[in-house]
Amino acid sequence: MQLQLPEPSFDALTASRSLQTLISNDIRRNSGWISFARYMELALYAPNLGYYSGGAAKLGKDGDFTTAPEITPLFGATLAHVAADLMRQTAPQIVEFGAGSGKLARDILTELTAMGVSIHRYLIVEVSGELRARQQQMLRGFPQVTWLDHFPHSFSGMVIGNEVLDAMPVNLVVKTDGGWKERGIGLSAKGFVYRDRACDAALLAQIPDADSLPVGYLTEVHPIAAGFMNSLSGMLNAGYNDTGHGGAAILIDYGFPAHEYYLGQRDQGTLMCHYRHHSHPDPFYLPGLQDITAHVDFTAMARTAVDAGLDLLGYTSQAAFLLDAGIGDLLLRIPPTDQLRFLPQSNAVQKLISPAEMGELFKVLVVGKAASLPEKFGRNDRSHRL
């Protein structure tokens, strides 16, 4: 397939070729085969060369995709009101995973300040040195922000993960005439190629009724994201055991419950790549210069958290969550008669909540320990659909 995408600069192309060499050497060291998860890990996170650890602009109009915080500050302001309620039940601190440009943190902290809510610490766990530098610039006026390289062992308060789970490496599995195989990466004279080998049965545990799916069915499974949910659960459980204060995690991403994830119409999976605001399905195109993502199986994420000792507090669409949290009221703080200010923000909110845009595809999963969402969030709760 010939992709018609913008040409990279010479320096960017050189960096991508260096990453291709690194990945090729990793394949050779592993007897000519690595899992797709390993390929995705190197493509996104290899030091200095991977998409998230290199120097390319990723967010906003000059990057490859736009996230909700980049669209409007009302997204962060709305989350601030949810945070204020949750932190009254837990502890006045927040940890955010994968904070992007830092804009979400800035919008949350700005709104909390305007509300008169004091927050002791805002921790950001960020693996990308380039993004951490951008965040530090964005958040210079907020001394309570601290950066970490890894999970805190123990935490009480509110956890935020906006578009974090979708960027975690996934394994690929495919059903063949000979049963399920794991699809990994090998080398050919032309570069990277898919190669299938025997599949570890544990990879199939995430797929409901895998035996009923047709031959040729290809999909992703998410053991690394499940591992993240396990670590998250351990962190909040330890926080409760250490301090007696609970915690809650709000995870916002695009995806489906399992009964929708593994439909016949998704027989080639959900893997997608993003390069300069173009979406395409080829993960081998310019590794290191494009994002590679997969939709989230929210049933697997919720089940992992519950099995690890957390409570399922809520699951719904992004539209329902934001509307229940009061984004409409925050928009109306701008007088509708002030069209120069109101119309752009109104259009931005519409993008966040419209079923045709982000409102339905994006979901919100809330899990926690010794905490609960306000009663108003029960109106549109879909936990029963997980």
Per-residue tokens: 211: 């035996």
Pick the closest to residue 118 from 147, 151, 157 (CA basis). 157
Angle CA 262–268–270, to nearest 5:
70
User: 304 lies in a domain?
Assistant: yes
pLDDT of residue 329 exceeding 90, the answer is yes
Say if strands 296-297 and 247-256 run parallel, antiparallel, or are unpaired.
Answer: parallel
Confidence class of residue 264 from pLDDT cuts 50, 70 and 90?
A: confident
User: 301 lies in a domain?
Assistant: yes
pLDDT of residue 246 exceeding 60, the answer is yes
pLDDT in tens, 93-151: 999 999 999 999 999 999 999 999 999 999 999 988 888 999 999 999 999 999 999 99
**What is the CATH number for 125?**
3.40.50.12710
User: 279 lies in a domain?
Assistant: no
User: 351 lies in a domain?
Assistant: yes
- The rounded distance, in Å, linking the Cα atoms of 382 and 319 is 13
| Mean pLDDT score, 268-277 | 90
User: 374 lies in a domain?
Assistant: yes
Counting Cα atoms < 13 Å in the Cβ hemisphere of 315 gives 21
Task: Report pLDDT for 380.
Answer: 97
Task: Report pLDDT for 59.
Answer: 45
| Mean pLDDT score, 273-282 | 87
User: 100 lies in a domain?
Assistant: yes
CB 160 within 8 A of CB 97: yes
For the chain, what is the domain count? 1
Task: Report pLDDT for 65.
Answer: 60
| Mean pLDDT score, 320-336 | 98
pLDDT of residue 158 exceeding 70, the answer is yes
- The dihedrals phi and psi of 270, each to the nearest 5 degrees, come to -125, 10
- Which residues are CB-neighbours of 27 under 8 A, at least 6 positions away? 33, 34, 185, 186, 187
User: 160 lies in a domain?
Assistant: yes
Which DSSP symbol is given to 121?
Answer: E
pLDDT in tens, 48-85: 899 988 765 444 444 456 899 999 999 999 999 999 99
Where is average pLDDT lowest: 24-33, 274-283, 314-323, 335-344? 274-283
What is the span of the domain harbouring residue 362?
68-168+222-262+294-385
Pick the closest to residue 367 from 324, 322, 307 (CA basis). 307
Alpha-carbon distance values, 44 to 142, 295, 368, 377 (Å) = 29, 16, 29, 35
| Mean pLDDT score, 9-35 | 95
Task: Report pLDDT for 56.
Answer: 57
pLDDT of residue 87 exceeding 50, the answer is yes
Cβ of 35: how many Cβ atoms within 10 Å? 20
- Averaged confidence pLDDT in the chain: 94
| Mean pLDDT score, 216-237 | 98
- The rounded distance, in Å, linking the Cα atoms of 328 and 349 is 8
User: 367 lies in a domain?
Assistant: yes
